[in-house]
Amino acid sequence: MAQLWGGRFTKETEQQVYDFNASIGFDRRLFHQDIEGSMAHVAMLAKQGILTGEERDAIRKGLEEIRRDVDGGSLEIGEQYEDIHSFVEAELTARIGEAGKKLHTGRSRNDQVALDMRLYTRQRVKDTEKLLAELLKVIFSTMVQNVGTYMPGFTHLQKAQPITLAHHYGAYFEMFRRDLQRLEDLYGRMNYCPLGAGALAGTTYPLDREYTAQLLGFQGPTLNSMDSVSDRDYLIEFLAALSMVMMHLSRFCEEIIIWNSDEYRFVEIDDAYSTGSSIMPQKKNPDIAELVRGKTGRVYGDLMGLLTMMKGLPLAYNKDMQEDKEAAFDAMDTTADCLALFTGMLRTLKFRKQRMEESARNGFTNATDAADYLVGKGVPFRDAHGIIGRLVLYCIEKNTSIDRLSLEELKGICDRFEEDFYEAVSLKSCVEKRLTTGAPGPAAMEEEIRACAGYLEGLDWDGMGLERFTWEERKKDQGGKEDE
Ligand code: ARG
């Protein structure tokens, strides 16, 4: 009986197993890195006398042609191959014959995939650094132009004390600067070459690992071959750093969504970055900000998946590790898209400065300063706190604000109030008196802006292939200039 369907069943199962096992569907993305790694490998093999110069040249020519044909579209990376490494090797052997079979000398797919993934990730770290640098430039422009733009600062989403838009944006500058520094930091740690680790225990061929590492632009070879093939720490570090970027973007998005609401109307998102409703004609929705906030969970998920996949693995390589790719690619792509779109949205965001200032005037954001005023007149702070509390209550009943009360009304509550009170609690002086390092006062803000400019000036714009940062040019920048 079994034989009646056994053959067929076995075949189907085999196909399923094959499909389940294959990674070509997603590791095709590593094609260029696979070629690049193989080029360096054969150069080293020939230098060490393991391959002849002729064999090396034949292999290199074959690899170059495969690259040209795939890039040009005349050669397809077929689904019939198990993974990208098998594709390249099979194609090479089909083209150049015997010499092609020698490409894999002294190498295992374990160190090969470790190398490909590291080369790929290294580039994505650099790409993310660029996106962050662009975002920092936009944030900086808004800071420079809004040192005198007043707005309420919040705690518990309740109006607390007046700040400036420059100050608020400055907080995000700090977050994204730390994100960029985290990337630079992990780059330094990951930039070592695993090629030559073999399957797990090195090889018996006299490989020159320093040489391949150097050819591929690494700091040097990795130290331990077991670790080389089973280390995915750099991916986890990168995804953790990306999760942090997303968390920062998401917080910023949340604020923009609130500021863009009809209740706040602090900002207006550009039409190009908003969408409408199919039923409610009046709607202009902050979809991009919401999507970035939503996609944050997805990047966290990628990180969790990777951490969980790694937690039970004995040394050295295990097939589980093939699962690193889809999660890592997804986190890299998602964060890159979010950074690019968010930066565009921010660059075109319009501020309703009058409305922000009005909001800072109302809501008793000067209550602390009013209490401090009485302290200046010799009232103990605890008593001053109580007096201003009563004053606030009085204002709420009268539907007015502290600085709109007459001196008579003020004196009715406490006789220490004088004419100079109005100046002391004006929005301008509430902000300008805040001069401690890191505070929103103009002198402190100028210091902060100078430090931010110094940081941006120190970035390697040429190396990133980006337009260089200059402070002068930033002042002219359109970012955040618009008013209502
Ligand atoms: N596709 C595999 C991966 O991504 C390549 C390494 C295969 N190694 C092996 N021993 N089966 O991990």
120 pocket-lining for ligand 1 (C-beta < 6 Å)? no
Provide the percentage of residues in the chain whose pLDDT is more than 70.
95
pLDDT digits (tens, 9 = 90+) for 107-125: 999 999 999 999 999 999 9
Chain-centroid distance of CA 82 in Å reads 33
Between CA 148 and CA 364 the distance in angstroms is 19
Where are the domains positioned within the chain? Answer: 6-105, 116-152+163-195+223-356, 367-425
String of b and e for 57-73 (b: at least 16 CB within 10 Å)?
ebbbebbeebbeebeee
Q: What is the per-residue pLDDT for 348? A: 96
User: pLDDT digit string (tens) for 346-387?
Assistant: 999 999 999 999 999 988 989 999 999 999 999 999 999 999
Summary mean pLDDT of the chain: 93
Distance CA 145, CA 165 (A): 9
Q: Is the CB of 83 under 6 A from ligand 1?
A: yes
Does 203 contact ligand 1 (Cβ within 6 A)?
no
Q: Is 359 touching ligand 1 by the criterion CB < 6 Å?
A: no
CA of 72 to the centre of ligand 1 (A): 27
In the three-class reduction of DSSP (H, G, I as helix; E, B as strand; rest coil), residue 154 is classed as strand
* Catalytic-labelled residue, pool 23, 104, 141, 156: 156
DSSP assigned state of 77: -
> What's residue 478's pLDDT?
45
- Spatial CB neighbours of 277, under 8 Å, sequence gap ≥ 6: 283, 285
Q: Given 108, 141, 248, 277, which residue is catalytic?
A: 277
- Out of 3.40.50.12160, 3.30.450.40, 3.40.50.2300, 1.10.40.30, select the CATH number for domain 367-425: 1.10.40.30
Using the structure block, give the residue that is written with the tokens 């795939």: 70
Window from 157-161, 459-463, 472-476 with minimum mean pLDDT: 472-476
User: In CATH, which of 3.90.1570.10, 1.10.1270.20, 1.10.540.10, 1.20.200.10 is domain 116-152+163-195+223-356?
Assistant: 1.20.200.10
Band of pLDDT at residue 481, cut at 50, 70 and 90: very low
Q: Which atom of ligand 1 is nearest to the CA of 199?
A: 10
Determine the Cα–Cα distance for residues 387 and 62; give it in Å rounded to an integer: 86
Closest CA to 64 of 36, 44, 85, 41: 36
> Whose CA is closest to atom 12 on ligand 1?
322
Report the SS3 class of residue 59.
helix
How high is the pLDDT of residue 475? Answer: 61
- Above 70 in pLDDT, residue 58? yes
Model confidence at 207: pLDDT above 80: yes
- Are 372 and 380 in contact by the 8 Å Cβ rule? The answer is no
CB 82 within 8 A of CB 24: yes
Sign of CA dihedral 139, 141, 147, 149: negative
Q: What are phi and psi of 158, to 5 degrees?
A: -110, 140
Q: What is the pTM of this model?
A: 0.92
- Residue of 246, 404, 256, 406 lying closest to 338 (CA atoms): 246
Instruction: Name the β-bridge partners of 158.
Output: 155
Enter the DSSP assignment of 439: S
- The pLDDT of 201-210, averaged and rounded, is 97
Q: What element of type H or E holds 162?
A: strand 158-164
Nearest CA to ligand 1 atom 3: 322
156 flagged as catalytic: yes
**In the predicted structure, residue 6 carries a pLDDT above the cut 70:** no
Cα 341 to middle of ligand 1, angstroms: 35
The pLDDT tens digits for 275-327 are 777 777 777 899 999 999 999 999 999 999 999 999 999 999 999 999 999 99
What sections of 31-108 are H helices per DSSP? 31-47, 53-72, 84-96
Residue 195 structure tokens? 């090629």
For ligand 1, pick from 33, 85, 322, 324 the residue to mutate: most ligand atoms within 8 Å of CB.
Answer: 322
Does residue 15 or residue 51 have the better pLDDT? 51
What's the CATH number for 6-105? 1.10.275.10
Query: What pLDDT is recorded for position 281?
Result: 72
Quick one: pLDDT at residue 265?
96
Single-letter amino acid code for the residue at 415: D
CB distance 193 to 220 below 8 Å: yes
Question: According to the model, what pLDDT value does residue 469 have?
Answer: 87
Strands (E) across 298-403 are located at 350-351
Cα 148 from chain centroid (whole Å): 29
Distance CA 297, CA 303 (A): 10
Residue to mutate, 24, 77, 83, 112, ligand 1, most ligand atoms under 8 Å from C-beta: 83
